[in-house]
Chain A
Amino acid sequence: MHQEYTVIEGDFVNAGKASSSVKKTLKQLNVDPGKVKRVVVALYEAEVNAIAHAYGGKVLVDIDSDKIRMVVADKGPGIPDIALAMQEGYSTARPEVRDMGFGAGMGLPNMQKNVDKLNVTSEVGVGTTVEMEVNF
C-alpha cells in the first residue's frame, strides 16, 4: 500500500496529519500497537523537521505485510554536518519552532531510537531526505 502526503513550510497547524493518517491505517491493519507507536513517533518527528527547517516536502509511505518504509524528502537548506545533527541536544530551530514544543535537538536521535533502519542524506542548499523502516 502506497501513501503520499505533502508537507508545507511553517504549516504547524497541519504538522502530524500524515503521521496521524498512517496511524489509522496501521491500526486498521491490526499492526502491533507498540510498533505503531514507534512508526508514528518517528514519522511525526520527521514531519515536524520538514515543516520547521525546510521549504516543504513530501512524505512517501509504503506498507508491506512485514514492514513499513517511510521517506520524508524536503526542499530546503540541507544539513551541513549530519553527524552533528544526530547528536542529542544539537538544534538550529527557530524560536517559533520552540514555541510549538519542539526544537530541543531530540528529533533525529529519537527517530533513530524508534526505527529499525534510518538513512539521512542531505545536500546543502538543495534538501534533505530521511528514509526509515520499521519491521513488523
Chain B
Amino acid sequence: MTIREIIKLLDATVCTGEGRLDEEVETAFASDLMSDVLTLKDTPMLVTGLCNIQTIRTCDMASLDIILVVRNKKVTEDMIELAEDDDMVILSCAYSMFKACGLLYQNGIKPLY
C-alpha cells in the first residue's frame, strides 16, 4: 500500500512528510516499547501509541522513517521538528492500535515476524 492509501484506510492525518505519500509500505511493526523497536533488523512502518520525543529518536537510531501514531495522541512541535530533520513521515489516526493493525493487515501490510 502507499502511504496515501494508508491515510485513507485509517482516516489518518499527516503531521509531517507530505512529500513522501506515494511511497510504498510493505511491513509494519506495532509497539509502545522502544527497547523492542531497537532490536529490529528491518525497517518497517512503526505503529505506536507512545508519543514523545524518544519515539522519534528511537526511529532515527533504528532507521525507521514512517511512524503511525494511534489513538489521537498529540504529536508535538518538537517531535515534528526532529522528524523533519530526518525526512520522516508521521501519521496520526484516532483508531486503537488493534483496529489500525487489523485494517493494515487485512489490506496486505505484512508483519516482520
Contacts and interface: CB of A to CB of B under 8 A. Distances in A.
Contact of B39 (A23, A33, A44, A106): A106
Given A40-B61, A41-B61, A102-B35, 11 more contacts: A16-B54, A41-B38, A48-B54, A100-B50, A100-B54, A101-B34, A101-B35, A103-B35, A104-B35, A106-B36, A110-B38
Interface in B2-28: none
A20 interface: yes
B38 A20 contact: no
Contact of B33 (A12, A20, A33, A104): A104
Interface residues of A, number: 23
Instruction: Give chain A's interface secondary structure class.
Output: helix
Nearest to A19: B61
B60 interface: yes
Contact of A23 (B38, B50, B52, B60): B60
Contacts of B33: 101-102, 104
Instruction: Give chain B's interface secondary structure class.
Output: helix
Contacts of B36: 104, 106
Interface string B94-108: 000000000000000
A16 B34 contact: no
A45 interface: yes
Contacts of A44: 38, 57-58, 61
Nearest to B48: A101
Contact of B53 (A12, A33, A110): A12
A71 interface: no
13 contacts: A19-B61, A23-B60, A23-B61, A37-B63, A45-B35, A100-B54, A101-B32, A101-B33, A101-B50, A101-B52, A106-B39, A110-B38, A113-B39
A20 B57 contact: yes
Nearest to A104: B35
A15 interface: yes
A107 interface: yes
Nearest to B32: A101
A13 interface: yes
Interface string A36-69: 0100110011001000000000000000000000
A23 B32 CA distance: 24
